[in-house]
Amino acid sequence: MSQVPAAAPASAENPGKGLGIVGLVLSFLPFLQLVGLIVSIIAKGKSKKAGFKNGFATAGIIISILGLVITGAVIAASAAGIGAVASQCAELGSGEHVLDNGVTITCG
């Protein structure tokens, strides 16, 4: 009579590791940083619940937040610049205008 070998013990695997990697990758992509932040937070929670640390998720959270702050600053600066040009065009009317500082703007 042969003995059946006992099943190998299941290796403890971090349940949030894959999501952490996905969150980290998404954190580098413009306009997907918010999704990367959410995925990274979910991955971190899954790992923590299982008793694991998740460096990928932590990095994804940090990089997503930094990316969102930088993206927000760029959008705010762009909006201010567009607003300034629109204000100038409202005063000057349509056509091409050379400002006192030598900058040429075209309105209309």
What would the DSSP string read from start to end of 27-64?
A: HTSTT-HHHHHHHHHHHHHHHHHTT---HHHHHHHHHH
DSSP strand pairing (104-107 vs 95-98): antiparallel
Distance in angstroms (rounded) separating the CA atoms of residues 94 and 80: 20
Q: Is the pLDDT of residue 74 over 90?
A: yes
Whether pLDDT at 63 is above 90: yes
Q: Report pLDDT for 6.
A: 56
* pTM as predicted: 0.75
Residue 92 contacts by C-beta under 8 Å, 6 or more apart in sequence? 105, 107
Q: What is the mean pLDDT of the chain?
A: 91
